[in-house]
Chains A and B, each alone.
Chain A
Amino acid sequence: MSASYAVELVSVTKRFGEVVAVRDMTLRIPDGEFFSLLGPSGCGKTTTLRMIGGFEMPSRGEIFIGGEPQGYRPPYQRPVNTVFQSYALFPHMTVYENVAFGLEMRGVSREDIRRRVAEALDMVRLAGMERRRPSQLSGGQQQRVALARALINRPKVLLLDEPLGALDLKLRKAMQLELKQLQHRVGITFVYVTHDQEEALTMSDRIAVMNHGLVLQVGTAEEIYEHPNCRFVADFIGETNFLHGTIAGRRQGALEVTLDVGGTVLAQAGQDIGRGQPVTLAVRPERVRLSPGLPGGEVNALSGTVEDVVYTGVATTYWVALGQGERLMVRQQNEQIGAGPVAERGEKVTVSWPVDAASVFAQASEAQAQAAPEAGA
């Protein structure tokens, strides 16, 4: 167990009766990292966080904080603090009393408490609000009190469970930036739970994508977005086109895929997939190029018919029918005013993408990934 990890989970499983909320999870979070747990509702994010905080005990496996095994330690003996989704500010105490609570419980002297509370409130720009009650603050201010109340204790790790969930979009965006900067300044490891992929991509150093209690992929925002390792991750993060096909062979160090809609394309070989295997191909809509007319023999070019054109401000989205009910979403940046769409509805067009823009997943492994939650024990 290297002490350079702020948090380490080793084969942690959590069951609630029949429900397996977290399954055989192994994670290593280095000191000072902004780490996010991302996944759909019910995938076990909160449960993971609560196990680190000591509010739930793992059914199996071990959790280390700063290299120390936590065993059955209660929350008040762990060097972590939590920002709860509901903030959980004490309504019968003032802002000052709320923020001072942790230091008081640890027997810090009155003088030190006064100084550190002032610092903490300064840090979250709430100086002058000491005498107020939580009910007299706005949502964003309550959020900051919750942050100050946790950070004042200088924990090894700060746990945040969807802390921005209750804020409106604009405030949310502002707070995302503020949180990120704050984390940078204090240098404390953040473990951040969210089901909002954009939020995770914006803020995190690394992200763990979860589904059904399993960690599917861990990586930086770019790794996860550009090189998803399974269909679920490709689908959950951003928008993706899926095309079905079969491996035809290898060419120029790339996989050659014969698509069900006809035509052959090349794709990066992430994993080794044998010839004849059914696969799913994932392509991001903004990586696809659209040009009028029929393909002229370039690689990864297919022909189709424009079904729909939607102008969305920053970009224009084209829906291109490839035949056999498969449609491709293509997004082109609107770089010039009044340029108009590249193609009209009903027009014959060519769609193409670079070889490294497509990821290939074996359909069998996909089935495995989906079956795993039921199979593992």
Chain B
Amino acid sequence: MSSSPSAPEAKQRPPHRDLRGALRAHLGGMLLSSHAVLLYIFLYLPIVVLVVFSFNDSRFLAKWGGATFRWYGELAGDTQVAYALWNSLFIAVLSTFISTVIGTLAAMAMERYRFHGQLAMDALLYLPIIIPDIAMAIMLLIWFNLSGVGFTPWKVELFGLRLAVPYSVIIGHVSFNISFVAIVVRARLADMDRALEEAAQDLYANSWQTFRRVLLPMMMPGIVAGALLAFTLSMDDFVITFFTSGAGFNTLTVYVFGLVKKGVTPKINAISTLMVVFSLALVGLARLLQKGGEGAPVDVDLF
């Protein structure tokens, strides 16, 4: 029989091995953490610079002339900015609403029903996400020209401003937003136990009541997340708006693009900063709402 009842392994190991192991572990940890730091710098330094320079009291970008709120003040009095902002909001609200309704219905059709051509529709639903914005923009442009929709504006008066928003832009935004909403809502639906709907039916709820009382409330966090995503995407879109709006129509992004052509000023930084803050606030709100879906945690993790 073996006379040495298994002593702790470490004691029998040559000491230099332990040292090397420890060193390696230490080095690994250092590398990892410095990697993380570099990554954060890479991702967020430009944003920090953008924000800092939006307070720059100098007409020139590269020169720091002290801090000021001047650019933000200028924005507030600028009617062109106001028009661009309201155009953006108008398009975002409308396209979000339409695409949320259609996208949710599409998600339900894909997850809860079987029909002919479902596979094809499945693939088509992802298409607007996969194909480049520019290709989509040109497709839409051609389509609006051929179909005669053109850039016919929808004229509305909002807060004393006369807006003229081309239908084509709204339709364009709806067409890419549907996909995003559908995917987010579908993920939520796929996680839902079908027995819940059967239980509702078992408890005398007809199809409409089942939808109203069980399916819809349970999908709601997904729908809200999808809508917020759609809203953000719509506010942030440049390419499709630019191509489907015709000359002389500004949303915030198109307006900034126009300014940049004349040279970058701190005013652009100020607008961009506001847009970043706004987008972050929306994303934060989406997270908050998702967490709020008590008892029904959402697994959709897009952000």
Contacts and interface: CB of A to CB of B under 8 A. Distances in A.
Contacts of A136: 295
B9 interface: no
Given A88-B193, A91-B218, A134-B295, A55 B203 contact: no
B196 interface: yes
Interface stretch (A79-87, A172-180, A328-336): A79-87
Contacts of A90: 196, 199-200, 214, 218
B294 A133 contact: yes
A111 to B, nearest CB: 19
A149 B295 contact: no
Chain B interface extent, by class: 20 to 34
Contacts of B206: 74, 76
A76 B205 contact: yes
A74 B202 CA distance: 9
A306 B201 CA distance: 59
A207 B213 CA distance: 37
A88 B206 CA distance: 17
Contact of B198 (A75, A101, A133, A135): A75
Given A55-B198, A88-B198, A81 B295 contact: no
Nearest to A106: B204
Contacts, number: 68
Contact of B202 (A82, A89, A92): A82
A228 B294 CA distance: 52
B109 interface: no
A101 B218 contact: no
B193 A76 contact: no
B195 interface: yes
Interface in B88-112: none
Contact of A92 (B195, B209, B295): B295
A13 interface: no
A205 B213 CA distance: 38
Interface string B271-303: 000000000000000000000011110000000
A89 B218 CA distance: 12
B73 interface: no
A105 B204 contact: yes
A84 B198 CA distance: 9
Contacts of A66: none
A163 to B, nearest CB: 13
B217 interface: yes
Interface in A101-158: 101-102, 105-106, 133-136, 149-150, 153
A285 interface: no
Indicate the member of A54, A75, A92 with the most B CB atoms within 10 Å.
A92
A76 B218 contact: no
A339 B240 CA distance: 91
Nearest to A136: B295
Interface string A182-219: 00000000000000000000000000000000000000
Given A84-B198, A91-B296, A105-B209, A149 B203 contact: yes
Given A55-B198, A88-B193, A90-B214, A102 B203 contact: yes
Given A76-B206, A102-B203, A105-B205, A92 B296 contact: yes
B195 A153 contact: no
A81 B195 contact: no
Contact of B217 (A55, A88, A92): A92
Indicate the member of A76, A136, A150 with the most B CB atoms within 10 Å.
A76
Contacts of B203: 76, 81, 101-102, 105, 149-150, 153
A39 interface: no
Contacts of A91: 196, 218, 295-296
16 contacts: A55-B201, A76-B201, A76-B202, A76-B206, A80-B202, A82-B198, A84-B199, A88-B193, A89-B199, A91-B296, A92-B217, A105-B203, A106-B204, A133-B294, A149-B203, A153-B204
Interface of A: 53-55, 74-76, 80-82, 84-86, 88-92, 101-102, 105-106, 133-136, 149-150, 153
CB-based closest 7 A-B pairs:
A102-B203, A88-B195, A88-B199, A133-B295, A105-B204, A75-B201, A91-B295
